[in-house]
């Protein structure tokens, strides 16, 4: 039986395999998956999460997705940092009512650590992804970064993956 998560992760996997990148699932839950990606340029881990719709569904010019991270996920990220692993975070920002308004954000480990503020002890952490109609990229902020100091990232995730992650 297919689950909702399979549709969101499947879209990413379809794009990766079309670019001759071979994914292997290392860990899987309903709220996140960790893949090992292998290509002719190298191997690295990808930590993926999805949100099925923006938190502000009724705003036409701006969309906002909130990704919550459990204490277990925060521990995993601490381990990635400790072992200095090569990892990317892929946040799938779906818009289930208008698929063409969905986004994919790719962050490196340092950006995730900054946004989550891992050293700040609290029950849960979050990362927000903001997409503005007139914006060229995406804005990323969260527990450790305010919205007015958001990190700007490229919107063309596919180009970013091929050029930055596997080179």
**Portion of the chain with pLDDT greater than 90, in percent:** 28
Nearest to 26, CA basis, from 79, 82, 104? 79
Per residue in 63-81, pLDDT (tens digit) is: 899 999 998 899 889 888 8
pTM reported for the whole predicted model: 0.84
Computed over every residue of the chain, the mean pLDDT equals 83
Q: pLDDT tens, 108-128?
A: 999 999 999 988 778 889 999
Question: Domain segments of the chain: what residues?
Answer: 4-165
Domain 4-165: which CATH number of 3.40.50.980, 3.40.1350.10, 3.20.190.10, 3.30.470.10 = 3.40.1350.10
């Amino acid at each position: 039986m297919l689950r909702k998560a399979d549709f969101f992760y499947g879209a990413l996997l379809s794009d990766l395999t079309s670019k001759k990148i071979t994914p292997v699932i290392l860990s899987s839950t309903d709220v996140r998956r960790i893949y090992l990606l292998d290509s002719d340029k190298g191997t690295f881990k990808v930590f993926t999460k999805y949100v099925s719709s923006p938190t502000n569904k009724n705003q036409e010019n701006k969309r906002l997705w909130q990704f919550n991270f459990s204490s277990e996920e925060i521990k995993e990220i601490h381990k990635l940092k400790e072992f200095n692993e090569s990892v990317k975070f892929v946040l799938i920002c779906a818009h289930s009512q208008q698929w063409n308004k969905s986004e994919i954000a790719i962050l490196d480990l340092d950006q995730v650590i900054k946004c989550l503020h891992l050293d700040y002890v609290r029950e849960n952490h979050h990362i927000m992804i903001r997409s503005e109609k007139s914006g060229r990229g995406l804005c990323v902020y969260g527990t450790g970064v305010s919205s007015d100091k958001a990190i700007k990232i490229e919107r063309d995730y596919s180009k970013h993956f091929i050029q930055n992650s596997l080179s």
